[in-house]
Chain A
C-alpha cells in the first residue's frame, strides 16, 4: 500500500490544510528534526513536530489548541524545518495557512498581540503609500500597542546616520496597490 492510499482519508483541519496548501501533515513520522532545528521552539508551547502530531489526531480539541496557540505566531518562517524535514513537508506554508485562519476566526493567541499589531501596522503603511514608511510604521505600531517608549533611543541614532526618511515615498500606483488590499480583504472578511 503506498503512502498516498494509506493516508487517503484525511479530514478535519489536516484535510483543510491539504486542500488549500497541498501540505500533507499525515506524512510526518515524528522524527523531531523540525523541533530540534527550530530556533523558536523553546518559546513555543507546541514545537512544530507537536503541531504535526496534533493534526494527525483529527481531534477538534487539538485543532482548537493549534489555532489558539502562540506557536503559530512566534514561528518566523525561517524555513529551517522545511529544509531538514526528511518527508519534505512544507511546515512554513502550513503555518501561514494556520495564522490566516486563526486571525479570520478571531482565535489569535492574546500573547501574540504585539506580533500581529506589527504585521498590521506594516501592511497599513504599504496600503497607504505603496512602500514601507518606517517612521509611520513605528508610530502606528506604538498607537496599537501603547509601547510608546520602545525604540525611542534608536530613532534619533538612525536619523543621524541617514537611516530614517522623515517623509514617506509615495508611489504613483497607490490606487492599484490599495485595490489589491481591498480585493483580498473582501475575501478575508477584512482582517487587515
Chain B
C-alpha cells in the first residue's frame, strides 16, 4: 500500500514530531508514504490574506507535481495545508477558467485528478480497519479532541466532519483505548496565524481552549494540526500568563497517541520534543 505525502513546512521544522509519528504509524501498519518530490509551501494564511492568485497557484503546483509523479491520492497531515490544497482543488473545479491562469503561472499541467486526505481520513481509510488485536498498550486517559478550524471548516468545501461537534477524532481515540470527553471548544480557533504577530491574542484564544479542557478533567489534548499544537504547546507561557494559573496538560498529535497504543517507542513518536512534558 503506497500513498503520496505532502508534509508541508511545519512538519519539516517546528512540528518534526508530527512527521515522525505519522511515518512511524504508517510504517507499523504497512503503508508506504512517498513524499511529493520538490514540493513547495502551500502559501498558508499569508498568501490568501494578501494575494488570491498566489494562494491558488502555490497549492496547484503541489497538486500538479503529485499528478506528474503518478500519485492518485495524497495525505496532508497539516490541517492548514489540507485546507489550502482542498480549497484550491475546489476553486479550480468550480471555476475552470482559473486553470489557464494557474497552468501558465506554474508551467505545469493540472487536471485535478489527485485525491486529498487529511490525517484522520487516511487513518480511517487505511489504518483503523486493520487495528483488531493490535492495540497492545491502550491509551487509558481522558482526552479532549481538539479539531480546530481548518480540519472541519468550511464544510461546503471539505465535506469531512460535523462543524460544531465533530466525532471522527473522538472515534479514533476510542479505538486507541482513550476516553474522549465532551467539551465546548472542539472547533474554536487557537489564534493560528497570529502566533508571532499578535501573541497576546493567541494567549487568550488558546487559553480559553486549555481552560475548558482542564476544567472538564482532560489529561491530554489531542490535535491533528501543527499550528494548533505549537500554539497550545509552545505558547504555554503566554497562555498561563493570560489565565493566571499554570496548566500542564500535554498536547499530543492523534498519530502519537495511536503510535503509543500500537506499542511504538516514545522516541520514535517524537514525544521528547514537546515543550510541555508528556508524562502520561
Binding site for B on A (CB under 8 A): 39-40, 43, 74, 76-80, 82-83, 88, 90, 92, 96-97, 99-100, 103, 114-120, 122-123, 125-126, 130-132, 134, 138, 141, 150-151, 154, 157-158, 161-165, 169, 171-173, 176-177, 179-181, 183-184, 187-188, 191-192
A173 touches B38 (CB 8 A): yes
In the assembled complex, 14 residue pairs joining A and B whose CB atoms fall closer than 8 Å, in A order, are A39-B189, A77-B45, A96-B49, A100-B49, A100-B51, A123-B46, A138-B196, A154-B234, A163-B15, A163-B16, A163-B273, A183-B53, A183-B105, A192-B54
Closest chain B CB from A101 CB (angstroms):
11
CA A115 to CA B43, docked complex, whole Å: 16
Smallest Cβ-Cβ distance to A73: which chain B residue: B49
B16-30, CB under 8 A of A: which get 1 and which 0?
A: 100000000000000
B95-119, CB under 8 A of A: which get 1 and which 0?
A: 0000000001111100000000000
B189 touches A78 (CB 8 A): yes
| Interface contacts beyond A122-B44, A184-B57: sample of 13 additional A-B pairs, CB < 8 Å, sorted by A | A39-B191, A39-B205, A97-B52, A123-B43, A130-B40, A161-B274, A162-B273, A173-B38, A176-B106, A176-B108, A183-B57, A192-B50, A192-B54
Interface residue ranges of B31-83 to A (CB < 8 Å): 38-41, 43-55, 57-58, 61
CA A138 to CA B13, docked complex, whole Å: 13
A76 touches B156 (CB 8 A): no
4 smallest beta-carbon distances between A and B, as pairs: A79-B153, A132-B9, A78-B189, A119-B46
User: Is B239 interfacial (CB-CB < 8 Å)?
Assistant: no
B156 touches A161 (CB 8 A): no
A40 touches B273 (CB 8 A): no
User: Is B150 interfacial (CB-CB < 8 Å)?
Assistant: yes
CA A176 to CA B60, docked complex, whole Å: 12
Closest chain A CB from B147 CB (angstroms):
12
A169 touches B12 (CB 8 A): yes
Interface residue ranges of B245-260 to A (CB < 8 Å): none
CA A179 to CA B197, docked complex, whole Å: 28
User: Is B163 interfacial (CB-CB < 8 Å)?
Assistant: yes
User: Is B5 interfacial (CB-CB < 8 Å)?
Assistant: no
A126 touches B40 (CB 8 A): yes
Smallest Cβ-Cβ distance to A79: which chain B residue: B153
B50 touches A100 (CB 8 A): yes
A176 touches B50 (CB 8 A): no
The one of A115, A162, A163 that contacts B197, using a Cβ cutoff of 8 Å: A115
Q: Which residues of B contact A132 (CB under 8 A)?
A: 9-10, 13, 41, 44
B54 touches A184 (CB 8 A): yes
B220-234, CB under 8 A of A: which get 1 and which 0?
A: 000000000000001
User: Is B275 interfacial (CB-CB < 8 Å)?
Assistant: yes
CA A113 to CA B107, docked complex, whole Å: 34
B153 touches A82 (CB 8 A): yes
The one of A40, A83, A96 that contacts B155, using a Cβ cutoff of 8 Å: A83
- A39-B189, A82-B154, A123-B47 given as contacts; is B275 within 8 A of A76 (CB)? no
User: Is B193 interfacial (CB-CB < 8 Å)?
Assistant: yes
User: Is B262 interfacial (CB-CB < 8 Å)?
Assistant: no
Specify which of A43, A78, A82 lies most central, judged by the most chain B CB atoms within 10 Å of its CB.
A78
B194 touches A115 (CB 8 A): yes
- A80-B153, A80-B189, A184-B105 given as contacts; is B196 within 8 A of A164 (CB)? no
User: Is B168 interfacial (CB-CB < 8 Å)?
Assistant: no
CA A36 to CA B53, docked complex, whole Å: 31
A115 touches B198 (CB 8 A): yes
The one of B49, B50, B53, B163 that contacts A77, using a Cβ cutoff of 8 Å: B49
- A76-B191, A78-B192 given as contacts; is B45 within 8 A of A119 (CB)? yes
B46 touches A122 (CB 8 A): yes
Closest chain B CB from A165 CB (angstroms):
5
User: Is B167 interfacial (CB-CB < 8 Å)?
Assistant: no
CA A132 to CA B15, docked complex, whole Å: 13
